[in-house]
Amino acid sequence: MEAFLSNLPPHLTDRTLEKQLRPYMNALGISEWSCYSSRGKNLGWVTFLYPEDGNRFIARHGKTSLPNLPPSWQPIDNRPTATRGASTKKGTRDRANLHLMNVLVFVAKSHKPPDPFHIKSLHHRLQEKSKQRNQHDAPAADDAIIFTVMSLRCGHNSFRNPSQALTFVQECRMELSGLAKFGKKLLVLKYGTSVKIEIPYASIVQMIHKSTPCTFTLVLNEPPRFYHLPNGLDELYRMMGQLGISSQGTSSSQQFFRGTSIVSYPDHTKFAGKCMVYQFYVNDPDFDHKMITLERRSLFEIAHFNIAHDERPNNLWELDYTTSWDLFYGHLLNAGKTNALPFRILYLVQSLVWNNYLHPHVADDLLLKIQVLFKEARAASQPEPISDQAIKNLRDGSRDCLPFPVHGTEPHLLDPQEILDYLLEVEARIRTEGDYRGTLFGPQVANHHAWIFRAMVTPTRVTLHGPELEPLNRILRKYPDHTDYFMRVQFCDEDGADLFVTPKASLDQIFHRYREVLKNGISVAGRIYQFLGFSHSSLRSHAAWFLAPFYFHGQLQLYQNIIKSLGDFEHIQIPAKCAARIGQAFSETPSFISLEETGIQWRNIPDVKKLDGDIQRVFSDGVGTISQEALELTWPRLLQGGSIPTCLQIRWGGVKGMLSLDTRLRGRVMCIRTESMEKFPSRDKHNLEICDAASRPLRLVLNRQMIKIMEDLGVENNFFLRLQKIELDRLRAVTADAYNTGTFLHMQGIGLNCFLPTFIKALDKYGIDYRQDDFLRIVVESVVLRELRLLKHKARIPVSKGVTLFGIMDETGFLGEGEVYVCYDSYRRHGNVAIENTLRDGLVVVTRSPALHP
C-alpha cells in the first residue's frame, strides 16, 4: 500500500523525510515501510509492506474534510514555488493531521498501486534483518556498483500526448552492450573496449527506474562526456592483451579521444547536445540487491515509475526534435525580419531551447503567443507586455525556473499557455519592484557597465546566457546603442568549468569544434555572431568577444571595420603580439574622460635611459605624468568606494601604461612617453580611458613563482610555512564568532552591496546564530573553502607586513640607488587592520607579479 504526502517542507531529501516520519511510525508500531520525495517539490510517497500498516497510518494522520465554511475562509492558491499551485486545488477545505518540521502535511491514500520494486525492496530488507540485524551485507561505501546493461537510447521526455503521461521519446538508438559503473562522483558507461561515457552525478536531475522491462532513464541537465578509441586501436589493444605481449595494453593505459558524440553512430551527432535523456536496459542477476544499495547511498534522485516509451516520434512532427526545431527557427527568423518581437525576446526564447528547458515545439507555441501579445500592445499603444527579465527568470531564476519533465512534474507546468500566464504574473511582480531595481541598477551602474549577451561553447553544444552587466571597454563605449550586437563567448567544459588537458584523453576533436565555432560564428535568431577579439584577462578565462554585423551612421560595421578603426596594426608581424595589441581595446575601462570636453592637453616627453655597460636600461618604461588640475577632473569619473588616487592605469588610443601625479606641471596636461607607452599608432584618441586607480590598499600575497625565486635566493622553507600557518589559524578563527565572520566577508568583498557582513554582525547582537540558516552558513563556508583552495593549490599566502603598490618612477631624482619610496593607507574597519601599519625605514624586498623564474 502507498500513501501520498503533499505540502512537504521544500528541498526535503529521502533520508530527512525518513528521519522525520520515523517517530510517527514507531508510535504506531510500523517497522516495514519506505519513503521517497520529489526533489525540489513538496510531494512525497510512503510505501508499506503490509496494507494494514498503511491503513493505520492514514487513519491516524490522514487529512480530514472540514465542514462547509464561508468563502472568506477558503484557502487561496498562492502558487507555491516548486509546482506553482499544481497540487493544491482552489477552494479545498481539508485539515492536515501531520506536522513535519513545523509544516502541515496532508496525507491521503495514493491513487496508484505501489511500485513493485519498492515491495521487493521491503521484502529484501526484512530478510536482511532476519539474517543479520546489526550488519548489512552490502559492498563498502567506496566500492562501485556495477550493472550489466544493454542498448542505449537518446531522446527527450514529453507530456505531449492525449493522456498527458510522462513519455520517453526516442530520437536515436544505439545497439551496445556493456557495464554501468556507479562510482563515487560519476556514472561510467562502458560499451566494449572502444566507447566510454561519463555522467557526473551533479548533472543527473532524476533517474527513473522502470520494472518491466527493467530500464534506467537518466534525465540530465547537461550532456555526458563521450570518449572513444581511434579506429582499429581497440582491436589491437584487445589482441595484445590476449597474447600477453604487454600488461600495459589494458584500458588503464589507453588514451581515449574526447569526442562530441558517440562516433560509431553518426545519427547521435545531431542529438548529443540537444536531447539529454538517456535510457538503457538493465539485465543483471543481482539487480534487486544492487539497486537497494544504490538507493541507500543517495547519490542522486531515483524515482520508480512506469514511464511510457515512444520509439517512432517521426510519425508526430510535434515530438520529432529536428522537425520541430526547423519550424521553430523559421518562425524565429520571420519574427526578427518583420520586427514583430524585439531581438532580446527572440534571443531569450531561443536560449530556453538551447539550454534544454523547452522542447522546440513548446517554444514555438510560446513564441507565437508572445508575438500576439506584442501585436495587441502595439495596436493599443501600450508598453511591451513582457520584459526580458521575466523570461530570464524562467531560465535562471531560483523560484521561477522551469521544471524538467521528470516524475512528479505536473504536465500543465510545461504547457505553452500556462507558461505564458506565469510570465505575465512574473512581469507584474517585476514592475512592482521597479523602484527597488532602480536603486540597484541606477545611473552609477549604467555609466560604467553595459548589458551584454553571453554564450558558452562546450564540447557538444552552445548555451545562451544573459544579458548580464559587463564593464565597459573602448568598443562598447564607441557603440552605446548597439551593445546587443556584441557577445562574450566562453569556451569551457559541459559544466562551465575550464577544459583541462589530461594525458588520459586527447582533446583534438574538441579543439577542432572550438575552431569551427571561431571560424563560422554562432547563429542566434537570424544574427550570426563572429569572432572579434579578446583581452588578456578574457584570454586567461578562455573567453572572447563576438560581433554581429550592424549599421552605424549608414555604414555596415564588420569586424574588419572595427579593428581597422582602432589603429594601424600592419607593422606588427607576430600574430600573438598583434592579437595582444588589438586586445588593448577590449580591456575593461569602466571610467573615462573626454580630452576635448575637459580641455586636457598632452605632450610627448622622452624616456629616462641609462647605459649599464653595453646594456641600455629604461627607467621610465610605461610611466607618464599628469598635472594636479587634470587629475582632479578624473576623480568624479572613477568608481566609488575608494580614496582619491594619485596614480592611474590608462588606455589612450594605442598608448597603455601609468600616469602619476606631478605637481610641478601647470594647467591641464598629461605627459606621454611615446617611445615606451605607444604600442601602435591610432587616431582614436578622443577619450582617456582608466582601467584602474591606486584608490585602495591591496594586500601582498605570495605565489609559486615568487616563492621559487625567494628559495633560490636563500630564504628558508620555515619562513613560508610560518606564514602559511598564520593564515590557516586566521581562517579557522573566521567561524569562531559572528564578528570575525563579518570582518572576513568585508575584507573579501563578499555581499557588500547588500550589507551581508553588517547583517551577520547584527544577527549576533540579537542572539541569532547565522549558522542556523543554511544559506548564510553555505556562503561563509564557500568563501573559506575558496581561500583554502587558493592557499593549497596556488600558494596564495598573505604577507601581513607587505603591500601591493603601483610601480612608478621618481621623476624628481630625489631617491638614490637602492632606495624606494613606499606610500600607502592602512585599511581599517572597526579597529581591524588588513594591512599592518608596521613598515619602517630599512631593508625591504621588492618584487613584481608576474615574476618569471629564469
Can you tell me which residue has the cell 582619491?
644
* Rounded Cα gap, residues 401 and 419, in angstroms: 11
User: If you average pLDDT over every residue of the chain, what do you get?
Assistant: 84
Residue 269: CB atoms within 10 A of its CB come to 15
The three-class DSSP label of residue 228 is strand
CB atoms within 10 A of CB 720: 17
Listed in sequence order, the residues at least 6 apart from 625 whose beta carbon sits closer than 8 Å to its beta carbon are 605, 659, 660, 661, 662, 665, 670, 671, 811
Residue 505 grid coordinates: 584523453
CA angle 702, 704, 710 (to 5 degrees): 70
For the chain, the residue count is 854
Q: Give residue 240's pLDDT.
A: 54
**How far apart are the C-alpha atoms of 562 and 548, rounded to whole Å?**
12
Contact 85, 78 (CB under 8 A): yes
Distance of CA 743 to the CA centre of its chain: 27
Q: Tell how strand 505-506 and strand 256-259 pair up.
A: parallel
Neighbours of 454 (CB within 10 A): 16
Predicted local confidence at residue 239, as pLDDT: 56
Bridge-based pairing of strands 103-109 and 98-100 is: antiparallel
Between CA 355 and CA 671 the distance in angstroms is 51
Q: Which of 118, 119, 116, 65 is nearest to 92 (CA)?
A: 65
Rounded to an integer, what distance in angstroms lies between the CA atom of residue 22 and that of residue 10? Answer: 19
Mean pLDDT by 10 residues, the chain (854 residues): 87 83 86 82 87 90 73 37 40 78 88 80 73 50 82 88 83 89 92 88 92 89 91 56 50 74 89 92 84 87 88 64 91 92 94 93 93 93 90 80 88 90 89 64 67 94 91 89 93 90 87 94 94 87 93 89 89 88 87 90 90 83 91 84 82 91 92 91 89 81 90 90 91 87 85 86 89 88 91 88 85 86 64 55 83 66
Tell me what pLDDT residue 245 has. 55
CA distance 513 to 498: 16
Q: What pLDDT score does 134 carry? A: 44
Q: Which residue has the cell 601602435?
A: 680
What is the helix (H) or strand (E) element at residue 52, kind and residue range? Answer: helix 51-61
Stretch(es) of the chain classified as CATH 3.30.70.330:
2-131
Q: What is the model's pLDDT at position 253?
A: 53
Distance CA 434, CA 430 (A): 6
- Give per-residue pLDDT as tens, 777-829: 899 999 999 999 999 888 889 888 888 888 888 888 888 888 888 876 665 54
Does domain 2-131 correspond to CATH entry 3.30.70.100?
A: no
Q: Which amino acid is at 601?
A: Q
